[in-house]
């Protein structure tokens, strides 16, 4: 137990350092951006009709004349104290914007994560256990096609087919247009989240299936599988008893590492579906020079991805007897 | 009595891709013959790369998919077809593999011995076989990485003893063990033979093989060059020059090395594979060499020792 605590403690320190690095990198990129916040957000025409005083006020609001170091340190100081600042675009506390957006995105990502995980594992195990056979060829073919398909293009395709031609699903957004916030049901939300989630799942499956296939193929060539065959175990029994057991460890790593991919994918997919999620907010913040919001989203998403990897590491200790028993003996 | 296993003219080859897309048939075992009687331990001795393990996999029909097997295998008087091999493997024919890597690293020993069965009878059997080999009931709860080399070997033998085998195939069961542990492990195989089963012991260690085997078949470059009684070795009644060289290479017999190296698969012509290294090699040794009876043993040599040409 002490070992586990020490392990977690070390990881948390590492996480703090990582978040610091990530926020700094995001800030530097933003500072180096050639976009002028006034021109992007106010517009050239509007700027021309304004007085110098008004422009100075706006420059002050967007922090144009504050030195970068001061801006970053100011943000960092507040962040450490638990204040993520106020979004310049939404004029709401960043924590509130992220909270709302995350809620929308979480539906989407959780759905995609579970579907791509379960489906990817199943297909990967099937292909790996039948390497070289027809099943494998079909699954591999599917995965290659999907891997070489950009997520946003697939999103457009699904949108065209299911929303425009067939009219089965809404064309965008997360709730019905013009509906009262109080009257929106869970069914409405799921209905709107379906296509974006499907896009993310389809693209996520390929990656997980191909990696699982590779691991499963290696397992099937192991000495203990040969011995299981020599002992008269059927292929079914070998896959279920030995294959799944041994593919579990790499599958855990894959599953939690895929969080970052789904996160990245959601940025594009949300854009296509005009889905008001975290990804879309990140794009807006980036293009609109909304520094507090962008840094907030960057740090929160990095923390979620890191958290996923941390969970995977901790689960390893529970699943792998070498770690579990090795640690217990110390 | 009916022999347990009879292998006649067994050949195993692999299909490989040669230059371009041309497929090449690479022979690894050629014209191999062997007989095991009930209660007998027959050792197959040969250096690494002589194709010994493939013999075991061939009998069990667990060769890789790109392999091809020809010849006849008879088990308990009936031909051992691929279908029958599937039925009897793990039951009447059991394999005792080399080491701990043949156990599932993430499964406890008990369930592995029981092959997934959970009933009371299976539990009793697994406990009994472990006890038979001096392993406590707590071994069942161990993962393979928690076993010592000797324990792992005994667990593997226990998987065999948990069945009611008529033929036990032991593939290199002793490497990595000290002399005493190795003797003890081999003793367990002798016990299985004394119980009426046939034991096929595959090893590179001639000395250890002679300590328990009744008969010894010597492998060279994928061929059996000689089958002899264990007693023939000490009595100096060896027939094939390679067997003799192997015997003389043992430390207590003079430690005499011979020049050259065993040819690899695909490097052997039609004639005797040992001819290039043989002190008595003659031009006609490069032609066909029959496998024939000499003096109660069998030999593949035109000019065997102690025989007439």
What is the C-alpha separation between A322 and B155, in angstroms, rounded? 19
Q: Of B97, B102, B146, which is closest to A325 when you measure between CB atoms?
A: B146
Phi, psi (degrees; rounded to nearest 5) at A116? -65, -35
Q: Which residues of B touch A233 (CB under 8 A)?
A: 90, 115-116
Mind telling me how many Å the CA of A130 is from chain B's nearest CA? Answer: 12
Task: For an interface test with A, give the residue of B61, B102, B161 to mutate (most A CBs within 10 A).
Answer: B102
The structural domains of chain B, with segments of one domain joined by +, span 5-92+166-238+251-267, 101-162
pLDDT band, very low/low/confident/very high, at A92 (cuts 50, 70, 90): confident
Q: Are A200 and A151 in contact (CB under 8 A)?
A: yes
Record: contact A321-B106, CB cut-off 8 A: yes
Inform me whether the pLDDT recorded for B48 exceeds 80. no
Q: Which residues of B touch A241 (CB under 8 A)?
A: 104, 107, 116
Record: contact B97-A227, CB cut-off 8 A: yes
A329 touches chain B (CB under 8 A): no
pLDDT band, very low/low/confident/very high, at B309 (cuts 50, 70, 90): very low
The region of weakest confidence among A92-106, A221-235, B55-69 is: A92-106
Higher per-residue pLDDT: A239 or A27: A239
Q: Of A224, A229, A248, which is closest to B62 when you measure between CB atoms?
A: A229
- Among chain B residues, CA nearest to A322: B145
Q: Are A309 and A257 in contact (CB under 8 A)?
A: yes
* Mean pLDDT to the nearest integer, B107-120: 90
A210 touches chain B (CB under 8 A): no
A245 touches chain B (CB under 8 A): yes
Q: Of A224, A230, A325, which is closest to B90 when you measure between CB atoms?
A: A230
Q: Which residues of B touch A246 (CB under 8 A)?
A: 104-106
Task: For an interface test with B, give the residue of A220, A222, A230 to mutate (most B CBs within 10 A).
Answer: A230
Q: Which residues of A touch B106 (CB under 8 A)?
A: 245-246, 248-249, 320-321
**Tell me, what's the pLDDT at A274?**
81
Fold of B5-92+166-238+251-267: Rossmann fold (3.40.50)
Record: contact A246-B95, CB cut-off 8 A: no
- Measured at the CA of A194, the angle between CA A188 and CA A200, to 5 degrees, comes to 145
**Tell me, what's the pLDDT at A327?**
63
Q: For residue B28, give the nearest of B2, B4, B54, B9 by alpha carbon.
A: B54
Q: Are B188 and B133 in contact (CB under 8 A)?
A: yes
Q: Of A223, A230, A237, which is closest to B89 when you measure between CB atoms?
A: A230
Inform me whether the pLDDT recorded for A28 exceeds 90. no
Task: List pLDDT tens digits, range A186-202.
Answer: 777 777 878 888 888 88
A226 touches chain B (CB under 8 A): yes
Query: Which residues 190-229 of B have a C-beta within 8 angstroms of A?
Result: none
Q: Which of A260-264, B30-34, B130-134 has the highest mean pLDDT?
A: B130-134
User: Which runs of consecutive H residues, i.e. helices, occur in B11-148?
Assistant: 52-60, 82-88, 109-114, 120-132
User: What's the full length of chain B, in residues?
Assistant: 309
pLDDT band, very low/low/confident/very high, at A307 (cuts 50, 70, 90): confident
* Mean pLDDT to the nearest integer, B273-296: 84
SS (H, E, C) B207-244: HHHHHHCCEEEEEECCEEEEEEEHHHHHHCCCCCHHHH
pLDDT band, very low/low/confident/very high, at A163 (cuts 50, 70, 90): confident
Q: Which residues of B touch A329 (CB under 8 A)?
A: none
What is the C-alpha separation between B61 and A297, in angstroms, rounded? 59
Q: Which residues of B touch A224 (CB under 8 A)?
A: 101-105
**Tell me, what's the pLDDT at A230?**
92
**Tell me, what's the pLDDT at B169?**
94
% of chain B beyond a pLDDT of 70: 98
A228 touches chain B (CB under 8 A): yes
What is the C-alpha separation between B86 and B119, in angstroms, rounded? 24
Query: What is the reported pTM?
Result: 0.81
A48 touches chain B (CB under 8 A): no
A315 touches chain B (CB under 8 A): no
CA distances in angstroms from B276 to B239, B247, B282, B284, listed in the order given: 18, 19, 9, 12
Record: contact A232-B106, CB cut-off 8 A: no
Record: contact B105-A224, CB cut-off 8 A: yes
**Tell me, what's the pLDDT at A329?**
59
Mind telling me how many Å the CA of B113 is from chain A's nearest CA? Answer: 10
pLDDT band, very low/low/confident/very high, at A328 (cuts 50, 70, 90): low
Record: contact B143-A321, CB cut-off 8 A: yes
Helix, strand, or coil here: B299?
A: strand
Which two tokens mark A55? 């422009």
Inform me whether the pLDDT recorded for A228 exceeds 80. yes
What is the C-alpha separation between B10 and B30, in angstroms, rounded? 6
Mind telling me how many Å the CA of B156 is from chain A's nearest CA? Answer: 10
**Tell me, what's the pLDDT at A134?**
93
- Among chain A residues, CA nearest to B145: A322
Record: contact A230-B62, CB cut-off 8 A: yes
Cα-Cα-Cα-Cα torsion A271, A273, A274, A277, nearest 10 degrees, comes to -70
A328 touches chain B (CB under 8 A): no
B178 touches chain A (CB under 8 A): no
- Among chain B residues, CA nearest to A245: B106
Higher per-residue pLDDT: B65 or A126: A126
Task: List pLDDT tens digits, range B139-174.
Answer: 999 999 999 888 898 899 999 989 889 999 999 888
A230 touches chain B (CB under 8 A): yes
pLDDT band, very low/low/confident/very high, at B306 (cuts 50, 70, 90): low
Exposed / middle / buried, residue A163 (Cβ in 10 Å: 0-12, 13-18, 19+): middle
What is the C-alpha separation between A255 and A125, in angstroms, rounded? 14
Residue B199 pairs in a beta bridge with: B41, B168
Q: Which residues of B touch A249 (CB under 8 A)?
A: 106
Mind telling me how many Å the CA of A304 is from chain B's nearest CA? Answer: 30
Q: Which residues of B touch A228 (CB under 8 A)?
A: 104
Q: Are B185 and B173 in contact (CB under 8 A)?
A: yes
What's the whole-number average pLDDT of chain A?
84
ipTM computed for the complex: 0.88
Higher per-residue pLDDT: A147 or A193: A147
Query: Tell me, what DSSP letter sits at residue A243?
Result: I
What is the C-alpha separation between B217 and B276, in angstroms, rounded? 21
Record: contact A224-B94, CB cut-off 8 A: no
């Amino acid at each position: 137990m002490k070992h586990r605590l020490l392990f977690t403690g070390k990881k948390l320190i590492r996480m703090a350092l990582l978040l610091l690095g990530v926020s700094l990198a995001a800030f530097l990129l933003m500072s180096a951006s050639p976009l002028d916040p006034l021109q992007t957000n106010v517009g050239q025409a509007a700027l021309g009709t304004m007085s110098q005083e008004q422009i100075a006020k706006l420059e002050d609001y967007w922090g144009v004349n504050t030195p970068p170091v001061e801006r970053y340190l100011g943000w960092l100081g507040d962040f450490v104290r638990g204040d993520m600042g106020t979004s310049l675009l939404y004029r709401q506390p960043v924590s509130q914007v992220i909270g709302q957006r995350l809620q929308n995105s979480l539906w989407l990502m959780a759905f995609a994560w579970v579907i791509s995980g379960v489906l990817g594992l199943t297909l990967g195990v099937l292909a790996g256990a039948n390497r070289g056979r027809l099943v494998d060829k079909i699954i591999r073919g599917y995965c290659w096609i999907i891997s070489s398909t950009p997520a946003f293009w697939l999103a457009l395709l699904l949108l065209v087919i299911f929303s425009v031609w067939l009219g089965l699903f809404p064309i965008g957004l997360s709730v019905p247009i013009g509906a009262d916030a109080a009257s929106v049901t869970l069914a409405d939300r799921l209905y709107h989240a379906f296509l974006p989630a499907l896009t993310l799942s389809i693209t996520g499956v390929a990656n997980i299936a191909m990696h699982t296939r590779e691991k499963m193929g290696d397992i099937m060539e192991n000495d203990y599988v040969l011995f299981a065959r020599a002992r008269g175990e059927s292929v079914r029994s070998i896959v279920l008893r030995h294959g799944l057991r041994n593919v579990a460890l790499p599958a855990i790593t894959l599953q939690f590492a895929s969080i970052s991919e789904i996160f990245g994918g959601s940025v594009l997919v949300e854009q296509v579906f005009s889905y008001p999620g975290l990804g879309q907010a990140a794009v807006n913040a980036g293009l609109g020079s909304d520094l507090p919001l962008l840094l907030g989203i960057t740090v929160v998403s990095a923390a979620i991805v890191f958290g996923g990897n941390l969970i995977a590491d901790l689960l390893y200790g529970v699943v792998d007897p070498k770690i579990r028993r090795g640690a217990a003996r110390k | 009595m009916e022999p347990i296993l009879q292998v006649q003219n067994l050949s195993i080859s692999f299909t490989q891709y040669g230059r371009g897309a041309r497929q090449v048939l690479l022979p690894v075992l050629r014209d191999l013959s062997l007989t095991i009687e009930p209660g007998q331990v027959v050792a197959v001795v040969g250096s690494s790369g002589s194709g010994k393990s493939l013999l075991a996999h061939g009998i069990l029909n667990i060769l890789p998919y790109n392999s091809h097997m020809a010849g006849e295998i008879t088990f308990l008087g009936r031909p051992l077809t691929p279908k029958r091999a599937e039925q009897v493997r793990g039951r009447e024919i059991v394999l005792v593999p080399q080491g701990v890597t043949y156990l599932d690293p993430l499964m406890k020993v008990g369930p592995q011995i029981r092959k997934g069965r959970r009933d009371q009878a299976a539990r009793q059997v697994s406990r009994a076989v472990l006890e038979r080999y001096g392993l406590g009931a707590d071994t069942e709860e161990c993962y393979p990485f928690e076993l010592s080399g000797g324990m792992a070997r005994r667990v593997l033998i226990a998987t065999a003893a948990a069945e009611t085998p008529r033929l036990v195939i032991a593939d290199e069961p002793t490497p990595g063990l000290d002399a005493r542990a190795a003797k003890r492990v081999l003793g367990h195989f002798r016990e299985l033979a004394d119980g009426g089963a046939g034991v096929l012991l595959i090893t590179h260690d001639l000395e250890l093989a002679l300590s328990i085997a009744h008969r010894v078949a010597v492998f060279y470059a994928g061929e059996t060059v000689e089958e002899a009684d264990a007693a023939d070795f000490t009595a100096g009644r060896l027939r094939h020059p390679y067997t003799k060289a192997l015997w003389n290479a043992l430390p207590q017999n003079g430690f005499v090395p011979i020049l050259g190296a065993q040819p690899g698969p695909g490097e052997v012509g039609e004639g005797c594979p040992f001819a290039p290294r043989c002190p008595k090699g003659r031009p006609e040794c490069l032609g066909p060499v029959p496998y024939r009876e000499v003096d109660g043993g069998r030999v593949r040599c035109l000019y065997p020792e102690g025989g007439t040409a």
